[in-house]
Structure 1
Amino acid sequence: MEQITRPGFATRRRTQLFDALVDLFLAEGFAHLTLDEIAARLRCSKSTLYTLADSKEQLVREATVHFFRRATEDVESHIAEINGARERISAYLSAVGTALTAASDQFMADLDAFPPAREVYEQNTQIAAGRVKALIDDGVAGGDFRDVHAAFAADLVTTMMVRIQQRGVRDSTGLDDAHAYRELAAILTAGISA
């Protein structure tokens, strides 16, 4: 009997599995989980997991990529309709903080301890800093911000984003990620306002 597949079903199913995998990892971390445990928790077979990646290490890396892709889409859709450079930077950094609130301490510790996933996170931090730099450049060009060295401001943001994501800011100030990003946005935009 010929199997009929609906167009897009495999892609949809793959996305659903990665979404569930990301949610599991964000809540509990991933270092302690075996492939058998992951399959059981996702209610799928190990062979299904192997359609996503060839090993647990690759699965973790791909799930981390999926998380940051999903977070980026959420952040960008959040700021799409916002006008004004100051408001866009504030909304962007707040949305980044919101996207990270789902990440448990265990996930962040596992992420930091696993070089392939940490590399994905560091790359995404650099991309986010570049996005902030572009928003600052737009604000300078539009007269909303004084003429600042946008690369320096972006480097400052990058440094703080890393400290926030590594929980250094929370440990030293008690601020959760979302509040830390809002404070960063307020300090940054007030400091560069025209």
Structure 2
Amino acid sequence: MATRRTDQDFIRDLTRLLCSEGVSSLTIGEIAQRMRCSRRRLYEIAPTKEALFVGICRDVLAANLERGFAAARGERDAARAVSAYLHAALNMSGLSKAALADLDAIDSGRAVFDAYQLARVRGLESLLEAGMRQGLMAPHNPRLVSEAILGAAHRLRSQQFLKDTGMKMGDAFSEFYEIILNGLLCRPEPDDPTQATCRSCPPQ
């Protein structure tokens, strides 16, 4: 006789399904069939499939945010902490392109993603301030930097932007973070000020 999955196992499987396929192409009946459960069990979690999906995404993004904070806490150097914080969750959010598109198409979903991005940049402000105090980062206004990142986040997640550039969301954020952390200008090597080199510059 089959045993009923624990609530934890059930939510894990439901999260995997919705974060992989999104929700627009599924009915509540199809979700129940794929999950091998009754519709009632799904309605016990949320009143609609959209609310179910948004709730799952909220939990995934919250875990993603904590992963970033945990990575930062693991670094003693403030500059490294900023880099670790920004890169920790790239390509690890667990949300597919379809899921991200569905999240952006739902008003409450956009609000969840906006709140997630806001929480990320507010956390970033404190890390930037620490880096500036340690003399490891240029003394710019932390709110200015965080707001610039927040504004870019709204644009970089646009499906039209990703289509136009042929980039994946994680790659777009990764490259943007590289620009924020290292800038656009090539810098000279300490032992030869006439030679400008950087990770993005072609070899001379």
TM-score range, shorter chain: 0.7 to 0.9
If each structure's strand is expressed as a fraction of its own residues, which one has the higher value? 2
Q: Distance in 2 between matches of 1:164 and 1:156?
A: 12
Instruction: Please state how far the C-alpha of 1:63 moved relative to its aligned partner.
Output: 1.1
Q: Distance in 1 between matches of 2:110 and 2:20?
A: 17
Q: Distance in 1 between matches of 2:137 and 2:165?
A: 28
TM-score norm. by structure 2 comes to 0.77
Q: Distance in 1 between matches of 2:60 and 2:90?
A: 14
Q: Are 1:22 and 1:66, in contact at CA under 8 Å, matched by a contact in 2? A: no
TM-score norm. by structure 1 comes to 0.81
Q: Distance in 1 between matches of 2:160 and 2:73?
A: 30
Relative distance call for 1:163 and 1:21 in structure 2 (3 A) is: farther
What secondary structure, in the 3-state scheme, does the structure 2 residue paired with 1:52 have? coil
Q: Which of residues 101, 107, 111 in structure 2 aligns to 1:109?
A: 101
Q: Structure 2 unaligned runs (5+)?
A: 184-204
Instruction: Please state how far the C-alpha of 1:93 moved relative to its aligned partner.
Output: 1.7
What is the alpha-carbon root mean square deviation over aligned residues? 2.1
Instruction: Tell me the percent identity.
Output: 25
Q: Distance in 1 between matches of 2:126 and 2:106?
A: 30
Relative distance call for 1:127 and 1:24 in structure 2 (3 A) is: same
Q: Distance in 1 between matches of 2:148 and 2:67?
A: 23
Superposed, which structure 2 residues align to 1:53-92 within 5 Å? 53-92=46-85
What secondary structure, in the 3-state scheme, does the structure 1 residue paired with 2:173 have? helix
1:159 equivalent to 2:151? Answer: yes
Q: Structure 1 unaligned runs (5+)?
A: 1-11
Higher RCO (CA < 8 A, seq sep 6+): 1
Paired letter, 1:40? Q
Instruction: Please state how far the C-alpha of 1:185 moved relative to its aligned partner.
Output: 2.3
Relative distance call for 1:69 and 1:19 in structure 2 (3 A) is: farther
